[in-house]
Structure 1
Amino acid sequence: MEENLVGRKFGYLNVIALNNEHRLGNSWLCACQCGKEIVLSTIHLIGSKNRRPYKSCGCKQKSRKGKTMKYPDLYAKWADIIDRCYNPDRQNYSRFGAKGITVCEEWRNSFEIFLEWNLANGYDTDLRFSRKDKTKPYEPDNCHWVSIFDQHTNKSKMSNNKSGYTGVCSHGENKYRAYISRKGKRKYLGLFDTIDEAAKARKEAEEYYEKHGIL
């Protein structure tokens, strides 16, 4: 027997009565916060693996439309990060959802909240939206707006990098090699006696690239 949803709340919707009992799924009379009533099926209210649940009678989407049109890039970003984390058919799902990367509930359920956070935390069309720690979720404490250069240097370290520094690896006994890669090109920076010297060379190369745009 299907669960009784009367009295439950889904977003702006309150389920006030069973509209029709059906073997393929009941339908429910819902009162929206805006005052309008709407009939929705169980699947539309609770959602599924491939379907986002309804949160309002449609008034929420209409009120969001102006913001979506004003900030289409942020809306596209919001939809994209949700898709990559929750859609198994997405090409890059293996690098996000399949690895346990999620989107915090407040952002996943509301473009408005996502939008307001970004507008208050460095949103700029010349910058990139990025996670600070690539192993953690999309959430306020783990996201920021950075330059393309900073985003590149913040990429996950290669799994075989044991030095703790991007672009630095051990070489033989007590030696460290430093290098920098940009746009498919790699520049060897030298062989150093200490990891600190190698990391310093790498840092200086990053600063030079950021300033001049060449390796």
Structure 2
Amino acid sequence: MSLIDTIAIGDRFGAWTVTAKGERLISGRSRRVCFCRCDCGTDLSIDAYSLKSGVTTMCRTCSNRIKANMGQRLTHGGSDTRLHGIWCSMRKRCNKPDSQDYHNYGGRGISVCSQWSDFADFRDWALANGYAPHLTIDRRDNNGNYEPSNCRWIGRKAQNRNRRDNIRYEWRGKQMLLSEIAEITGLPHDLIRRRVRRDGWQVERAATTPPGTRWQHEGRYNDIGL
């Protein structure tokens, strides 16, 4: 069976619909071809290989129109900006399974709203809602999508605190990060973290015991925070 025999009348290849099959002269030889009609109404005879392999998916007029539209979309002039990089990264981690972060975003069902499929629209929202070069985009609801009602611009420090995998501890009636507790108490963050995670101290004790305090454990003295 030849390649053209695998194509049926009515099959679609891109914008082409096969309307008939027949023969025509190509370089002085009679060749079997498919007679096709583009969605715009243009008729053309095309060889089976070009249809099957995707060499052609539409007529030249439609192809030129799409290229012109793409050129217009690229005239936003922001392709080399930090904001454009943020937009690309956001879409990549939500839409491309080969992205190293996809499992935390697209893999969990998080998507980018259709309104932001065009960079110019995303840029306009960002500039109208507090974007600055030192800020990063953040979702208020970590299980929600990237969309205007769920996004804001915050500093890197705040962004890190909003990570899903951050561990919060009960301290004085609130769920807090150890870094937040350290800021309130004035003790070094590394000291509090070491006391709680390595030495097994209760948070209240770790956050209120001054650095350098000696305490006895299993018959010996240990210096904490020196």
| Band of TM-score, shorter chain | 0.5 to 0.7
Question: C-alpha distance in 2, partners of 1:96/1:126?
Answer: 23
Partner of 1:181, secondary structure, is helix
TM-align CA RMSD: 3.7
Identify the match of residue 116 of structure 2 among 71, 83, 107: 107
Identify the match of residue 91 of structure 1 among 100, 113, 117: 100
Structure 1 or 2, whichever has the larger Rg, is: 2
Unmatched tracts of structure 2, length 5 or more: 1-10, 17-37, 181-188, 197-201, 208-226
1:29 partnered with 2:29: no
Question: C-alpha distance in 1, partners of 2:52/2:104?
Answer: 39
Give the counterpart letter for 1:81 in structure 2.
Answer: M
1:187 partnered with 2:195: no
Asked if structure 1 preserves the Cα contact closer than 8 Å seen for 2:76 and 2:120, the reply is no
Aligned length: 152
Deviation string, structure 1 residues 95-138 (Cα, Å, up to 9, x no partner): 11111111111212x11111111111111012111111111111
Give the counterpart letter for 1:39 in structure 2.
Answer: S
Asked if structure 1 preserves the Cα contact closer than 8 Å seen for 2:40 and 2:62, the reply is no
Identify the match of residue 68 of structure 1 among 63, 78, 93: 78
Asked if structure 1 preserves the Cα contact closer than 8 Å seen for 2:140 and 2:151, the reply is yes
Question: C-alpha distance in 2, partners of 1:111/1:180?
Answer: 38
Asked if structure 1 preserves the Cα contact closer than 8 Å seen for 2:15 and 2:57, the reply is no
Deviation string, structure 1 residues 52-104 (Cα, Å, up to 9, x no partner): xxx932444455345215x6111111111111111111111111111111111
1:39 partnered with 2:63: yes
Residues 49-198 of structure 1: pairs in structure 2 closer than 5 A: 56-69=66-79, 72-108=81-117, 110-156=118-164, 167-169=168-170, 180-181=178-179, 185=190, 187=192, 191=203
Asked if structure 1 preserves the Cα contact closer than 8 Å seen for 2:13 and 2:52, the reply is no
1:186 Cα shift?
Answer: 6.1
Please, what TM-score do these two structures have when normalized by structure 2? 0.54
Question: C-alpha distance in 2, partners of 1:91/1:4?
Answer: 31
Asked if structure 2 preserves the Cα contact closer than 8 Å seen for 1:176 and 1:191, the reply is no
1:178 Cα shift?
Answer: 5.9
Residue of structure 1 equivalent to 2:41: 17
Partner of 1:129, secondary structure, is strand
Asked if structure 1 preserves the Cα contact closer than 8 Å seen for 2:14 and 2:58, the reply is no
Asked if structure 2 preserves the Cα contact closer than 8 Å seen for 1:131 and 1:138, the reply is yes
Unmatched tracts of structure 1, length 5 or more: 7-13, 31-36, 41-54, 159-165, 193-200, 202-215
Identity %: 24
Question: C-alpha distance in 2, partners of 1:105/1:187?
Answer: 44
